[in-house]
A and B are shown apart, each in its own frame.
Chain A
Amino acid sequence: MILFHIRRSLKDLMGHAILILFPLILIFFFDYLYKTIDIQTGMEVEGQQRLALLVIGFALTFQIYGAALSFETLAADFYSPMHDRLFASPVEGRSLVLSVLISGTVVSFLQSLVIVLFSFIVLGASIPSLFVVLVILLVSVLFNQLLGTVLLFLVGTSKAANVVTTIYGSVVPMLVGLYFPLPDSALFRVIRLYGTPMSLANTASIRAMEGDYGSMALVMLPIAVIIVLLFVSLKPLVRRIEV
C-alpha cells in the first residue's frame, strides 16, 4: 500500500518540481542578497552558517506545503466516492490513512534531502552534523504531515485545510526570521527560537550544527510530544470518516 501511494504521489511531477525548485531559487536569491547588500539576516548569523540556515529554513518551510500535497491525496481518497471502495475492503481505516501519511512523509523528506544535497554540492553550503540535521528534518516532516492530516480531518475539506496551511506556511517562517530580521526584544527572540514548531526544528538544527546535542534533544522534545498527541488525536478523527 505504502509503495503504491509513493508511486502515486511521484506522478505529480509539477507539485514536486515546485516544492524543490522554488526553495532552491529562494536560497540562491537570499544568499546572493546577503552577500551583496549589507543587511542583517533575520537569524543573526553570518557566512557559511547563514547559508546553512537558509537551506534548513527553506527546507522546513516547504515541508509545510509538502503536507498540503498529502492531504490533497487523503481528501481525494476519503472525501470522494473512493471512500466507499476503500472502506468496503477489510483494511482498517487507520491503516488506510497511515499508508498515505507514511508515503507522504517519505516523499516530503526526499524533497528536503534533495534541497539539502543540492545546496551542499552546488551552492557549497557547509552543514556540520549533516546526518543529525537530516534526522531533525525527518522528524519535522512527520510533524507537518500529521498536522496537515489532523487539520484536514478537523475541517473536512481540502480547500479549507489549504487556506489554513497557506497562512501557517507564510507566517511561521517570518517568525523564525527567515525573510527579515524581527524586532530586537526578548519576546521576539523567544518566538524566533522556540515559538513555533518550525522555530524548534530550526533551533535544534543550529544546536546540532554547533555540536550541542543535549540542547538539541531538549528543543526537539516538545515536537516529539506534539507528534504523539497528533497521533493519538488521529484515532477518533479516522473513526469519524469511516462511516
Chain B
Amino acid sequence: MVLQVNDVMKRFNTNLALDCCSLHVEQGEVIGLLGPNGAGKTTCIRAIIGLIGIDEGSITVFGMPQDGKNKSIRRKIGYVTQEITLYEDMSGRDNLAFFASLYGMGKADIQVRMAEVGRLIGLEGRLGDKVKHYSGGMKRRLNIGCALMHKPALIIMDEPTVGIDPQSRSFILQAVKELAKSGVTIIYTSHYIEEVEAVASRIYIMDNGHIIADGTLRELIARIRGDHFIEVEVRLASEQKRKELLGLADVKEVALEGNRYTIVVPGGIPILDKVVLSLSEQGLVTINTKQPNLEDVFLTLTGKQLRDEVAS
C-alpha cells in the first residue's frame, strides 16, 4: 500500500480542518480527491507530505510513518502545488534543474530527465525562455513538470488546472493519463468534477474535513441509482424558491446554479407536475430529467453543488 491515512484529526485553533479523515491508496491507482473549497483537501495533502503535523490519527506513506522528518518519504513524493510556485525570472530549464537538484539529482541525470519531462508537458521548445514570458497554461504545465523531475513514485497534484484555458487543461489531463499508464500512483485533487471523472480510477469525496464517500465512479453513482434528477431552467431563479422546493414532500435536495435548479427526488415518485407548478411563476425555459453523474452524487451526499461552492 502506498498511503494509509487513519482517522486523522487536525485543528487550526478552534477550526477542525480534518475530522476523522481516512483514506488509502494502492500502488498504481489514480485517486481523485473531490471537494469544495475549504473541504480540507489541501490540509489533507499537506499532512500526507509532512508539511503540517496532525493532532490525532496516523499517516503511513510507503510503509513508513509520516512524522514530518522522514526524508525517504519526501524523496518519493512529487508535489504539484495549487499555486504556481516557479521562479519567474529564471528559464523553464533553470526551474526544472533547480527543483530536480533539491532531490539530489546529478547534472547528467537532470539533462536526460529534462528532455523527457519537457516532452510530457509539451514545453520542449520553450524551456529556454524565462517563465515570466509563459502563458498561464504553460506555467501550470511547468509547475507540474518541476514535480516530476525526480521520478516520484507518488505524485500529489493539488488543483493543477486552476485558472487555465481549456486547451491547456486538456493537455494536462492527457499528461496525467500518460503518467497513470506508466504505473505512477497519483492523488489528484480538484473541484472540477469532469476532471476527476476523466482521470481517477477511484474517488474520495470530502466535505468539512471528512471523507463522506469513496469508490469508483460507477460505485458512487450506483449509490444514488434510485434517485431521479430534474434540471429546470427558469428566467429568474431565487434562493427563496430553492428553499420552497426543498420544502416539497419527497424532494431530497435542491441546488441552484445561475438560473438552473437541480432537484433530486426518489425514483418512481410523480413529482414533476408539482415542480413545474411551483416554478412556472419564474418563467420556465427548459426542463430535463437526466441520468446521475458525479456532480449529482456530490449534490446528494453533501446537499451542495460543487460549482456554487467554488464560486462562493
With A84-B46, A84-B51 as known contacts, state yes or no: A1 contacts B101, CB within 8 Å: yes
Q: Answer whether residue A88 sits at the interface, using C-beta atoms and an 8 A cutoff.
A: yes
Q: Answer whether residue A4 sits at the interface, using C-beta atoms and an 8 A cutoff.
A: yes
Q: Answer whether residue A243 sits at the interface, using C-beta atoms and an 8 A cutoff.
A: yes
Cβ of A89 and Cβ of B102 under 8 Å apart? Answer: yes
With A243-B53, A243-B68 as known contacts, state yes or no: A85 contacts B74, CB within 8 Å: no
Q: Answer whether residue A87 sits at the interface, using C-beta atoms and an 8 A cutoff.
A: yes
Contact with B along A25-58 (1 / 0, CB 8 A): 0000000000000000000000000000000000
Cβ of B90 and Cβ of A11 under 8 Å apart? Answer: yes
Q: Which of A1, A80, A84, A87 contacts B98 (CB 8 A)?
A: A1
Q: How far is the CA of A84 from the CA of B49 in the complex (A)?
A: 9
Interface size range on B against A: 20 to 34
Chain A residues whose CB sits within 8 angstroms of the CB of B71 once the complex forms: 90
With A1-B102, A90-B71, A90-B74 as known contacts, state yes or no: A81 contacts B90, CB within 8 Å: no
Cβ of B103 and Cβ of A88 under 8 Å apart? Answer: no
Question: Nearest chain B CB to A44's CB is how many angstroms away?
Answer: 45
Cβ of A85 and Cβ of B85 under 8 Å apart? Answer: yes
Cβ of A85 and Cβ of B81 under 8 Å apart? Answer: yes
Question: Nearest chain A CB to B12's CB is how many angstroms away?
Answer: 12
Q: Answer whether residue A18 sits at the interface, using C-beta atoms and an 8 A cutoff.
A: no
With A84-B79, A88-B74, A243-B52 as known contacts, state yes or no: A8 contacts B87, CB within 8 Å: yes
Interface size range on A against B: 10 to 19
25 contacts between A and B (CB under 8 A): A1-B98, A1-B102, A4-B90, A4-B98, A8-B90, A11-B90, A12-B89, A80-B85, A81-B81, A84-B46, A84-B51, A84-B85, A85-B79, A85-B81, A85-B85, A85-B99, A88-B74, A89-B102, A89-B103, A90-B71, A90-B102, A90-B103, A90-B104, A91-B102, A243-B53
Q: CB within 8 Å of B: which residues of A?
A: 1, 4, 7-8, 11-12, 80-82, 84-91, 243
Known: A90-B71, A91-B102. 12 other contacts (CB 8 A): A4-B94, A4-B97, A7-B90, A80-B85, A81-B81, A85-B81, A85-B85, A88-B49, A88-B51, A90-B103, A90-B104, A243-B53
Q: CB within 8 Å of A: which residues of B?
A: 46, 49, 51-53, 68, 71-72, 74-75, 77, 79, 81-83, 85, 87, 89-90, 94, 97-99, 101-104, 146
